[in-house]
């Protein structure tokens, strides 16, 4: 099964029902998904995909973000 895109998740009837039950607005949920996607993208962008620097099957991540 393939993951839903953000627009697909926002249109999904089961997700909308869950949001209503939890009293979470669609806008709030959209902002949460966008923030999570951005953070995930930032983390994947710091991965050194050159596996010759580490053993096979391992990925070496860059330094954590400055806080």
Residue 63 lies in a domain: no
Per-residue pLDDT reduced to its tens digit, 16-66: 999 999 999 999 999 999 999 888 877 776 666 555 555 555 555 555 556
Domain count, the chain: 1
Residue 21 lies in a domain: yes
Measure the CA–CA gap between 9 and 23, rounded to whole angstroms.
17
Residue 48 lies in a domain: no
More confident residue, 8 or 42: 8
Could you tell me the residue range of the domain that residue 19 belongs to? 1-43
Q: Name the one residue in this structure whose structure tokens are 């393939």.
A: 2
Tokens encoding 8: 């697909």
């Amino acid at each position: 099964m393939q993951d839903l895109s953000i627009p697909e998740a926002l249109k999904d009837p089961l997700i909308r029902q869950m949001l209503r039950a939890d009293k979470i607005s669609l806008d709030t949920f959209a902002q949460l998904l966008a923030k999570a996607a951005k953070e995930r993208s930032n983390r994947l962008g710091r991965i050194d995909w050159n596996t010759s620097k580490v053993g096979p099957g391992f990925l070496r991540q860059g330094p954590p973000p400055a806080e």
